[in-house]
Amino acid sequence: MAKTTTDHDEIRKWAESHGGKPAVVRDTHNDTDGKNSRKTGVGLLRLMFPKAKQSEHDGLEEIGWDEFFKQFEDSELALLYEESSNFNKIIGRDTAEKREHGDSKASRH
């Protein structure tokens, strides 16, 4: 059964125990200086699992946990995950709250 959390330590511990790393979708990682020398602004967050057989992470760029969690908090996100697998989905906290109250089809639009 899937669990939902916003706890940074829980997220990091779960991800790392499955070989996961914090990442961002490369095309959404903004370059504000126009020189491509330093990308700033995070974009769409993901957890990537480079050693997983069917993991597709060519479009992802690894970032640090501090950068990941700053955007995670700024965007008011939560992690939906299964303890025994790599299944995870980053969702809005408003969506997580609705799901906790029985709305299994809740999603952020």
Out of 14-18, 34-38, 96-100, give the one with best mean pLDDT.
14-18
Band (pLDDT 50/70/90 cuts) for residue 37 is very low
- CB crowding 66-104: b at 16 or more within 10 Å, else e: eebbebbeeeebbbbbeeeebebebbbeebbebbeeeee
**Could you tell me the pTM of the whole model?**
0.77
Q: Does 109 map to a domain?
A: no
Identify the domain containing residue 51 by its residue range.
3-100
pLDDT digits over 59-102, tens only?
888 999 999 999 999 999 999 999 999 999 999 999 877 767 66
Q: How many domains does the chain divide into?
A: 1
Q: Does 17 map to a domain?
A: yes
Q: Does 22 map to a domain?
A: yes
Segment 27-45 shows an average pLDDT of 62
Q: Does 107 map to a domain?
A: no
Q: Write down the pLDDT at residue 109.
A: 43
